[in-house]
């Protein structure tokens, strides 16, 4: 049975890295002491070692050990034998390209579908959808495919922002960008606001956190769903 936490962001305003999620993570990873960390998204271009150190510090607060996948000579085997996975945020295009480069896509998808608990934040959440086409990231590298892991039957837009009527910014809103996406793609999109996450247990997908999420379906007016809502109906 699939077990995922698909999280909009690792850090909310006024808190340290993953601090607001630690109670949830302690329960989510209750059956494993060691978690395999995939730092390939490299936020701000930091190294794999630097990123892993940040994750280690956060998980040490709940007595969990983080091991970076880059420290293994055989990353495929590391995924096959792990008991928990965390894919951190950063650049979704870089993450996707590196997963392909290391031939990890199929193995990662297989073990998660078999029940290994998976935590994704930001870019690590983007790749859970049908494609990475609704990321906010710049395409700084070119992955061989824009396909996601297809662990949920829709796309995700982490860090979703509502239009600010007081802003002087004249560029496109997130809602406009997703509307553009739906001119060429049919799948639903979930706009996850900061501090929100999707919990997946088998076929059940539930919104968690204090905020609503915005749902975009092709040829429909966007609408809000409350925390606690199941969204298994989306296809």
- Is 122 one of the catalytic residues? yes
Q: Is 92 exposed, middle or buried (0-12, 13-18, 19+ CB in 10 A)?
A: buried
| Nearest-10 crossing angle of helices 105-113, 92-101 | 100
Active-site annotation holder among 10, 70, 125, 137: 137
Active-site annotation holder among 8, 10, 122, 196: 122
- The answer to whether the Cα torsion of 203, 205, 206, 208 is positive or negative is positive
Sheet holding 213-216, edge to edge: 155-157, 189-191, 213-216, 223-225
Active-site annotation holder among 159, 182, 227, 229: 159
Please name which of 86, 78, 81 lies closest in space to residue 56, comparing C-alpha atoms: 86
CB 215 within 8 A of CB 191: yes
Please name which of 79, 93, 84 lies closest in space to residue 43, comparing C-alpha atoms: 93
- Is 159 one of the catalytic residues? yes
Helical (H) or strand (E) element with 109:
helix 105-113
- Is 100 one of the catalytic residues? no
Helical (H) or strand (E) element with 205:
strand 204-208
Beta strands in 8-132, from DSSP E residues, in sequence order: 34-38, 65-68, 85-87, 118-121
Question: Any idea which residues carry the catalytic annotation?
Answer: 122, 137, 159
């Amino acid at each position: 049975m699939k077990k995922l936490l698909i999280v909009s962001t690792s850090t909310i305003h006024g808190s340290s890295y993953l601090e607001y999620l630690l109670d949830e993570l302690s329960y989510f990873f209750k059956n494993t002491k060691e978690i395999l960390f995939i730092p390939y998204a490299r936020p701000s271009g930091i190294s794999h070692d630097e990123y892993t150190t940040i994750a280690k510090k956060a998980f040490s607060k709940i007595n969990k050990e983080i091991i970076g996948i880059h420290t293994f000579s055989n990353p495929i085997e590391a995924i096959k034998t792990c008991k928990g996975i965390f894919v951190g945020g950063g650049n979704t295009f870089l993450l996707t390209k590196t997963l392909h480069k290391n031939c990890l896509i199929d193995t990662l998808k297989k073990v998660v579908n078999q029940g290994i608990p998976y935590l994704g934040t930001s870019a690590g959440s983007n790749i859970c959808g049908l494609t990475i086409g609704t990321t906010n990231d710049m395409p700084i590298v070119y992955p061989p495919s824009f396909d996601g892991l297809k662990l949920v039957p829709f796309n995700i837009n982490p860090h979703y922002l509502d239009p600010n009527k007081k802003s002087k910014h004249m560029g496109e809103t997130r809602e406009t960008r997703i509307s553009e996406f739906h001119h060429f793609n049919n799948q639903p999109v979930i706009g996850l606001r900061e501090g929100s996450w999707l919990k997946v247990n088998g076929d059940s997908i539930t919104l968690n956190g204090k905020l609503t999420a915005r749902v975009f379906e092709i040829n429909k007016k966007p609408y809000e769903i409350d925390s606690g809502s199941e969204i298994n109906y989306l296809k």
